[in-house]
Amino acid sequence: MSLREKLRVMVVDDMSTSRGLITQALDAIGIQNVATAADGRTALASLQQSPVHLVISDYNMPEMDGLHLLHYLRSAPATQKTGFLLITGRADPAVINKGKQLGMNNFLPKPFQTADLKSAIEAIVGKL
């Protein structure tokens, strides 16, 4: 079984269109074990029940943005080693630096191409 078949991913984005675009790109890459959440709180609850290898999260979400989600993931023993890829339309240096301080593994600016997503994921988990 290849890495792309074993890899469990959660996509977190408050916009259903963005979640759909990311999951379509993951499917095109061959990653099919994908869960989704519309916000950080839902994602955290789901991850406690069913851990994943990689979280792909939007930055700008209501209630809990992507960096707050990352903070909670890194604070809990069960999720502190989970890979984290931030996808954002607001890739300003302050956001990226804060993400790195919190333990973000990689980021990808919106809009993105499937090949860019694949490269960003491979930088975290290895060759797919």
* CATH at residue 84: 3.40.50.2300
Distances (CA, A) of 3 to 29, 53, 81, 104: 11, 11, 17, 21
pLDDT tens for 25-66 read 999 999 999 999 999 999 999 999 999 999 999 999 998 999
Cβ proximity of 112 and 28 under 8 Å? no
Question: Does a structural domain hold residue 92?
Answer: yes
At 1 the pLDDT is 79
Question: Does a structural domain hold residue 35?
Answer: yes
pLDDT tens for 56-108 read 999 999 989 999 999 999 999 999 999 999 999 877 899 999 999 999 999 99
Starting at the edge strand that comes first in sequence, how are the strands of the sheet with 8-12 ordered?
33-37, 8-12, 54-58, 83-88, 106-109
Question: Does a structural domain hold residue 59?
Answer: yes
Question: Does a structural domain hold residue 47?
Answer: yes
The pair of structure tokens assigned to 35 is 């869960």
Q: Whole-angstrom Cα distance, residue 125 to residue 128? A: 8
Question: Does a structural domain hold residue 36?
Answer: yes
Q: Total domain count for the chain?
A: 1
Beta strands in the chain (DSSP E): 8-12, 33-37, 54-58, 83-88, 106-109
Question: Does a structural domain hold residue 89?
Answer: yes
Instruction: Look at residue 35 and give its three-state secondary structure.
Output: strand
> Could you tell me the pTM of the whole model?
0.96
Question: Does a structural domain hold residue 128?
Answer: no
The domain containing residue 21 runs over which residues? 3-123
Question: Does a structural domain hold residue 9?
Answer: yes
